Amino acid sequence: MKQRIITAIVALCVLVPFIVFSDTFMLLIFSGVLSLVAVGEMLNCIGILKKLYITIPAMLVSTAAVLLTRLLPNDGNYLAVAFIVYFIFIMYTLTAAVFSRGKLDVTAAALGAMTTVYVSFGFSSIVLLRDMPNGQYLFLSLIHI
């Protein structure tokens, strides 16, 4: 019970600034950091966190995907650029697994790559939702659920 209370307090300390500063550049910073931490945790669960040739690009892609949501115009360019970046990252990860001579399992590499795409696209979607017209209301209702 004590652990759950501590976790709830930490989550509130992260969530309150996330909501208060959602209309500023801080939303990108918060989302980028949370995406970075989430991808790191998932790579740790998969067991490839110590493989830096996979971890460093995964961390860069997860943070860059979130930052590009507001830096690129919202006329479809974001999805095109995100698709290209994700595709290059997935191909790099699978190529690194194939040429690692058994040091990295292809299944673990594919799972790590797709986890990175899934998590970073989720955090990017939160920023995109917030930036929609009347998105702040959808954003707050999402948080309320």
> Each residue of 94-145: pLDDT tens digit?
999 999 888 889 999 999 999 999 999 998 888 888 777 765 666 566 555 5
pLDDT winner (highest mean) among 22-26, 31-35, 70-74, 86-90: 86-90
- Looking at residues 75-88, what average pLDDT do you find? 84
User: What is the model's pTM?
Assistant: 0.80
CA distances from 68 to 58, 59, 79, 84, 106 (A): 15, 14, 10, 13, 29
Contact 22, 136 (CB under 8 A): yes
Higher pLDDT, 77 or 5: 5
37-79 pLDDT, tens digit per residue, is 999 999 999 999 999 999 999 999 999 999 888 887 666 677 8
pLDDT value of position 142: 59
Which of 88, 74, 80 lies closest to 127 in space, CA to CA? 74
Stated as kind and residue range, the H or E segment containing 140 is helix 135-144
| Residue type, position 144, single letter | H
User: Is the Cα dihedral 11, 16, 22, 28 positive or negative?
Assistant: negative
Contact 127, 66 (CB under 8 A): yes
Interatomic CA distance for residues 12 and 1, integer angstroms: 17
Residue with tokens 């290059």: 88
